[in-house]
Chain A
């Protein structure tokens, strides 16, 4: 059981780290603000989500797990809204050519 959970942790955390890498590369390489924003969302949603998932078995108690889920939920909702707001700001900053 613990081995399976450990494997879950390793896999999920590694996958999460990968999405952070992907998000960063996207943020750097994509040509315009909107597609960069898209890359950012990936890191925000999937990267953090997977890491939280991976850490859940190690949270040590219900309160710890709840906190982890709260972090994820807050980051999730906030990033969804913030992405829209930033997208609007980006559109007004550089109007499509």
Chain B
């Protein structure tokens, strides 16, 4: 009974995902497509729960749908005037048919490959579980991210820093060092101000909660950082706070601190535990938590600043 219900749920969910994705890609108006993408992200969150991947579900809810959706919604609104001109550039019907055929065959090939995957599936779950006690953690995903494959995570934080540098590098020279985003006056919308005052305390609590349980339960720094970033963006949008100028030393130190601490712990490991990014026996958990604590503000700042965009003005509020 329960299994049948679950399968029913899965089928319904899968159909919804497919319908919303198709509509999002095919609809005429880009702003509508961006709204569709937000809905699509919400549905994917449910899919990740069904795939027994709660850590990913949290990340998808926070980043995939939440912050990416914001980015796309904002860009679609800015670019509305260019929609009509782009329409004319669409390839002809025959061309689209050929492309559709090509994409369908790619899909078919991938689907075939997935269905042909061996059974029982090869897995690292037992090894990840067996090694878990030595990390002192209870969440195997966190152990993968910060111990077994810590190099990926370290470099990924560098990716975020590089993306931020890339976005900043797009600033016109005359406003270099200035504030990102447009100037927003405070008290423009009373409701918005109210929301931006009310939600962040909740957000900070939730972020701390997610961060804290991340060592042993689904959650962790990425998810917590995204929620913090979202709260900061909210306050910026409401005009409560201004995005800081990118030349501020403290801002740069916050962005850099996380990866820097990560690297430092890595080198500490090569001195004390025999390998770069290894943790000395018994000190794994505190060191991992130290890394995560340093990463949390760095990631939050980087994510929020990525959404805010390149420096655009020198005048502050």
Interface residues of A (CB under 8 A from B): 70, 73-74, 77-78, 81-82, 84-85, 88
Q: How far is the CB of A28 from chain B (nearest CB, A)?
A: 15
In contact, A85 and B189 (Cβ under 8 angstroms):
yes
**Which of A74, A78, A81, A88: most chain B Cβ within 10 A?**
A81
Q: Does B26 contact A (CB under 8 A)?
A: no
Q: Does B5 contact A (CB under 8 A)?
A: no
- Name the residue of chain B whose CB is nearest to the CB of A87: B191
In contact, A74 and B195 (Cβ under 8 angstroms):
no
Residues on A with beta carbons closer than 8 Å to the beta carbon of B205? 70
Residues on B with beta carbons closer than 8 Å to the beta carbon of A85? 189, 191-192, 195
In contact, B202 and A70 (Cβ under 8 angstroms):
yes
Bound-state CA distance A85–B199 (Å) is 15
Residues on A with beta carbons closer than 8 Å to the beta carbon of B206? 70
In contact, B198 and A77 (Cβ under 8 angstroms):
yes
Residues on A with beta carbons closer than 8 Å to the beta carbon of B195? 77-78, 81-82, 85
Q: How far is the CB of B73 from chain A (nearest CB, A)?
A: 12
Residues on A with beta carbons closer than 8 Å to the beta carbon of B194? 81
In contact, A81 and B192 (Cβ under 8 angstroms):
yes
Residues on B with beta carbons closer than 8 Å to the beta carbon of A84? 191
Residues on B with beta carbons closer than 8 Å to the beta carbon of A82? 195
Q: How far is the CB of A81 from chain B (nearest CB, A)?
A: 4
Residues on A with beta carbons closer than 8 Å to the beta carbon of B198? 77, 81
Residues on B with beta carbons closer than 8 Å to the beta carbon of A88? 189
Residues on A with beta carbons closer than 8 Å to the beta carbon of B192? 81, 85
Interface residues of B (CB under 8 A from A): 189, 191-192, 194-195, 198-199, 202, 205-206
A-B contact count (CB 8 A): 23
Bound-state CA distance A74–B189 (Å) is 20
Bound-state CA distance A35–B191 (Å) is 20
A-B contact pairs, 13 of them (CB 8 A): A70-B206, A74-B202, A77-B199, A78-B195, A78-B199, A81-B191, A81-B194, A81-B195, A81-B198, A82-B195, A85-B189, A85-B191, A88-B189
Bound-state CA distance A81–B197 (Å) is 12
In contact, B191 and A74 (Cβ under 8 angstroms):
no
Q: Name the 4 nearest CB pairs between A and B, nearest first.
A: A81-B195, A84-B191, A81-B191, A74-B202
Bound-state CA distance A88–B195 (Å) is 15
Q: How far is the CB of A4 from chain B (nearest CB, A)?
A: 25
Bound-state CA distance A85–B194 (Å) is 11
Bound-state CA distance A77–B203 (Å) is 13
- Name the residue of chain A whose CB is nearest to the CB of B190: A84
Bound-state CA distance A32–B205 (Å) is 38
Bound-state CA distance A84–B199 (Å) is 16
Q: How far is the CB of B243 from chain A (nearest CB, A)?
A: 21
Q: How far is the CB of B239 from chain A (nearest CB, A)?
A: 14
Residues on B with beta carbons closer than 8 Å to the beta carbon of A81? 191-192, 194-195, 198
Residues on B with beta carbons closer than 8 Å to the beta carbon of A73? 202
Bound-state CA distance A70–B208 (Å) is 14
Residues on B with beta carbons closer than 8 Å to the beta carbon of A78? 195, 199
Bound-state CA distance A70–B206 (Å) is 9
- Name the residue of chain A whose CB is nearest to the CB of B194: A81
Bound-state CA distance A67–B198 (Å) is 17
- Name the residue of chain B whose CB is nearest to the CB of A84: B191
Known: A85-B192, A88-B189. 8 other contacts (CB 8 A): A70-B206, A78-B199, A81-B192, A81-B195, A81-B198, A82-B195, A84-B191, A85-B189
Bound-state CA distance A27–B202 (Å) is 29
Q: How far is the CB of B16 from chain A (nearest CB, A)?
A: 14
Bound-state CA distance A82–B191 (Å) is 8
